[in-house]
Amino acid sequence: MQWSPECKTGFDEIDSQHRLLFAISNELLDIENPVKQQDEVKYLLHHLIDYVDKHFKTEEEYFSKHSYPGIKDHKERHIDISKQIRQVVTESKNMTELKEHLDTMLDQWIRVHVLIEDKKFSVWAISKGIIK
Ligand SMILES: [Fe+2]
């Protein structure tokens, strides 16, 4: 997954968190042998879950601060994603399966989350003159 200018929301804190999310996800995606590297998978996954929670909290603080009208829907998406990540962990029978599920999920949700959901907030914030 490549960071590109189209991923930018215009909120520096959110953008730098997205970069780190991409970085953690890429490290996970790069793991070639999840059985041999299971400690690494577990470590990165733990890190990802913590960081996603922190990131969603940050975003929600921005939504509240600026009285973003899409806050309810976006918060629901956050809850869905958090559930999905945890489900991948509990429903995978082994490391290979876990890695397969993670690869599919990461690619999909990061794209949707950053490029679609967060972009809506960004477009709205620009229209209100909150950011340029
Ligand atoms: Fe985000």
Please state the domain extents for the chain: 12-126
- Tell me the CA–centroid distance for residue 58 and ligand 1, in Å: 9
Q: What's the predicted TM-score (pTM) here? A: 0.92
Residue with tokens 């209100």: 128
What average pLDDT does range 29-51 have in this prediction?
A: 95
Please determine, for residue 111, whether its predicted confidence score (pLDDT) is greater than 90.
no
CA atoms within 13 A on the CB side of 24: 21
Report pLDDT for 38.
94
- Of the pLDDT bands very low, low, confident and very high (cuts 50, 70, 90), residue 16 is very high
For residue 113, give the DSSP letter. Answer: I
pLDDT at 3: 82
Rounded mean pLDDT of 84-93?
92
Task: Count the alpha carbons within 13 Å of 81 in the hemisphere toward its beta carbon.
Answer: 25
How remote is the CA of residue 7 from the centroid of ligand 1, in Å? 10
Name the CATH superfamily, with its identifier, for domain 12-126. Hemerythrin-like (1.20.120.50)
Contact predicate 52/78, CB 8 Å: no
Residue with more model confidence, 17 or 2: 17
User: Tokens 């603080």 appear where?
Assistant: 61
Please give the distance, rounded to the nearest whole angstrom, from the Cα atom of residue 9 to the centre of ligand 1.
Answer: 9
| Residue corresponding to tokens 């229209």 | 127
The rounded Å distance from CA 110 to ligand 1 centre is: 8
- What's residue 60's pLDDT? 98
DSSP reduced 3-state for 111: helix
CA 89, CA 93: separation in Å to the nearest integer? 9
Mean pLDDT rounded to a whole number for the chain:
93
Cα separation, 58 vs 116, in Å, equals 18
